[in-house]
Structure 1
């Protein structure tokens, strides 16, 4: 059995391009070039059957280190808490007030992009502080 070489994280959502572009801004990811023969993703999308237009979008780490993110349209809305979520690591190596300042600054930036702050989870004997948030479609993630 071979080892896994790459991981893709897939999001079910209502508006794939909107959610993908939000995560591009959060993570510094980029939208890959459109398929050969197309000047833009919009042009490629228009070439698809009507039921597949706007059904998917993707983005990736420009350095090729982080996982590719794939966003697929699903008919149902989000109903319950995510079973898996992303931790956006902005406070790695920081503690106390310095960590809180970094988390709060990033939280403010992400709110301006359409995220929602849920709550600050303060440091305890085992964990440093983090901020629970929701993306533009309500998917939970943490600023860690």
Structure 2
């Protein structure tokens, strides 16, 4: 049996393109080229039935290493805490005040993009500090 080498992370959301573009900025991802026969995503979107316009959007790691992120419109809003979340690893290998400074700087950048800072989880005997945040639609993620 062959092992799976690639996977996609899918987000349910109200505004797929808005959320996708936020995560492009967070992760340095890019919007892939539009489907064959279309010069822009807007032209592709206009070709769809009205009810399907804006129903999904995607972004990809330009290096091809990270997973593709797919955003799909759903009718219901977020009702509870995520059961799965992303850890944005900006402080790997850093400890103490140096780690906190890096986390705080990235937190400030992401807040300017529309993220919300939820709380700092201070270092303890088992874990280094991290900052719990929410994306532009309230999905939790951690700066780690």
User: Is 2:136 the counterpart of 1:119?
Assistant: no
Which residue is 2:141 aligned to?
141
1:75 to partner: Cα distance:
0.1
Equivalence for 1:52 = 52
The 1-side partners of 2:72 and 2:64 are apart by 21
Is 1:75 aligned to residue 80 of structure 2? no
The runs of at least 4 consecutive aligned structure 1 residues that moved more than 4 Å come to none
**TM-superposed deviation, 1:2:** 1.4
TM-score for both structures, normalised by structure 2: 0.99
- Which whole-Å CA distance do the structure 2 matches of 1:130 and 1:23 have between them? 19
- 1:72-111 equivalence runs, <5 A: 72-111=72-111
How far is the alpha carbon of 1:5 from its aligned partner? 1.3
Query: Cα RMSD over matched residues?
Result: 0.4
CA distance in 2, matches of 1:13, 1:89: 23
In the aligned structure 2, how far is the partner of 1:87 from the partner of 1:122?
16
- In structure 2, the residue corresponding to 1:17 is in which secondary structure? helix
Q: Which runs of 5+ in 1 are unaligned?
A: none
- Which 5+ residue runs of structure 2 have no aligned equivalent? none
TM-score, normalised by the number of residues in structure 1: 0.99
SS of residue matched to 1:42: helix
- Number of residue pairs matched by the alignment: 144
